[in-house]
Amino acid sequence: MRFGKSFVMGLLALLLVFMTACTSGSEGTSGGNNKPAASNAAGTNGSAAGEAKDYTFGEDQTFHSNEAVSYSMMYSDHENYPYKKDWRLWSAIQEKTNVTFDLSITARTEYENQKSLLVNSGDAPYIIPKTYDESAFVATGQIVPVSDWVQYMPNYMKAVKDWGMEEDLKAKLKEDGKYYVLPGMWEIAGGGYSYIIRKDVFEAAGVDVEGQQGNWTYEDFYAAMKKVKAHTGAKYVISDQFKGESALNIAGVQYGVTGGWGLSNGVDFDHDKQQFVFADDSDDFKNYLGYFNKLVTEGIMDPETFTQEDDVAKAKFFKGDTYVISGIYQVLADFKSKMQDPNSELYMITQPGGPKGKLQVETSRLENGIMISQNALDDLGEEGFIKMLRFIDWFWYSNEGQMLSLWGVEGETYTLDAEGNVVLNPEIYYNGMNEGAAKQLNVDYGFAGGMFAYGGSEKLRMSKMTEGERDFVSRVQATREVRKLVPPIMATTEENEQMKLISTPLMDFVKTMTLKFIIGQESFDKWDNYKAQVEANGSMRYTDMANDIFQKTKSVLGY
């Protein structure tokens, strides 16, 4: 098998990234003594590139430029915490690093459109944070293949090594064997979406929630809801929000299929056979749809779940007409304040298991990330570019930088207790902490915003949670098995377009039929007809393409 030069160079760059992960901590922390890697695919010559002549940097060291420096950056202005020029965030960064930003400020709702416009026109700022999907920008030549450069980022490489992120990062690889975004990285996966239940009602119906929920499969959850229906006489036990997208997604994990928010392309990866399979016409998928059909047929799930607006679903739950609703833990405090029954006790259960086991729903430890514009390399030159990367390395990937972006300034917005745990200033509200406080950490200070505060250690992740959320995440970690990661389909631009032409109508059909089977508009007696139509719509063609691409690229992925 023969590969093009760019593919081989990408592979060499990737190997260099992971080899240097073992030695990145040896880079010096102040000017003059830092020696770069011998070479990389970006063309560094190993003599002077990467030496810190006018700034300090290093693993667990504060980046500081001797001379003031400003970097251009895109900024997504969130309506819930609008940009303020005098936020303490900006002055705190400058005090630590001597760095300021030249911001290109865009309303959150227009951020993706503006990003596309600036990148495609060649006018993008140097730093482009809050990037969820970089795929559309790779072919433009306007985004740096940043995997060629990460060996100059000691804190980033330390996280890769210490937290074993190599497999996670493979999800970001493109067909040239490189990646084009610096993702936020968490030491542990989050708890994710699950079901919020009326614990008081379940217990009154004879369900031992805390004692049993960690062992529940979806069938056990069904049995518990059936007891609640019998006890209360309610028309429905669950009338869900998100038009069923969350419930279908998290259940799909346990059935080995895709659905709801996780519908995607309908394929799963068989790790034993090392091949992709189309999951959404399998017997597992039939059983998955049959489960939800049973809930609807027996009056446990409201069929309006799949069509109603979120506020309608929440109103039913707040009023006490239903007793289960999907959500994330952060909404619990708000929900509690809106319950009409003052004796309501809300509890988030660990996601039930299923035929494939008791699996963690959240597998990715990667967050949205940062693209680097080619303009930065062109304008700053190699040494200036590496200097900017080392600032990014400190701000987004060092514990000190992550603490600053999330919690602010020690002694001003927070303190540390004797065990090193964060104690938020009692006059400041954040994420369910200090309810009713006069100020908010993001609104009034600029910290804990979505542009910067993502990624970090398990302790940092837990620090932003209330005691109840820490309990929920700990239950998930203790009772649910980590899933193997699905390898990326490293398609070329042309292959990607071909696959989209197949998957878009195919998955539209699957989504339509999913609802029909669940609410009873389509009989399971016609399952063979469904399977035939799925194949006619291209399920095998798509899966064959995915497997052909996997065979061409599996050596890069380590298979």
Nearest to 181 by CA among 457, 394, 392, 456: 392
SS3 labels along 478-509: HHCECCCCCCCCCCCHHHHHHHHHHHHHHHHH
Angle, nearest 10°, between helix axes 493-519 and 527-536?
Answer: 160
Distance CA 559, CA 556 (A): 8
Which amino acid would we find at residue 224?
A: A
* Token pair for 512: 């339509």
Question: Taking a C-beta distance cutoff of 8 angstroms, is the pair 392, 370 a contact?
Answer: yes
Question: Taking a C-beta distance cutoff of 8 angstroms, is the pair 386, 152 a contact?
Answer: yes
Tell me if domain 56-186+366-425+448-456 and domain 194-269+276-363+469-479 are identical in fold. Answer: yes
CATH architecture of the domain covering 194-269+276-363+469-479:
3-Layer(aba) Sandwich (3.40)
Residue range 56-186+366-425+448-456 forms a domain whose CATH class is alpha beta
Phi, psi of 91 (to 5 degrees): -70, -30
- Sheet harboring 194-198: ordered strands across? 324-327, 194-198, 346-348
Q: What is the pLDDT along the chain (559 residues), one digit of tens a residue?
A: 334 434 434 444 444 444 444 333 334 333 333 333 323 333 333 334 556 689 999 998 999 999 999 999 999 999 999 999 999 999 999 999 999 999 999 999 999 999 999 999 999 999 999 999 998 899 899 999 999 999 999 999 999 999 999 999 999 999 888 999 999 999 998 889 999 999 999 999 999 999 999 999 999 999 999 999 999 999 999 999 999 999 999 999 999 999 999 999 999 999 999 999 999 999 999 999 999 999 999 999 999 999 999 999 999 999 999 999 999 998 998 899 999 999 999 999 999 999 999 999 998 899 999 999 999 999 999 999 999 999 999 999 999 999 999 999 999 999 999 999 999 999 999 988 898 999 999 999 999 999 998 899 999 999 988 889 999 999 999 999 999 989 999 998 899 999 999 999 999 999 999 999 999 999 999 999 999 999 999 999 999 999 999 999 998 888 8
Place of tokens 């997604």: 249
For the chain, give every domain's residue range: 56-186+366-425+448-456, 194-269+276-363+469-479, 493-557
Question: Taking a C-beta distance cutoff of 8 angstroms, is the pair 60, 155 a contact?
Answer: yes
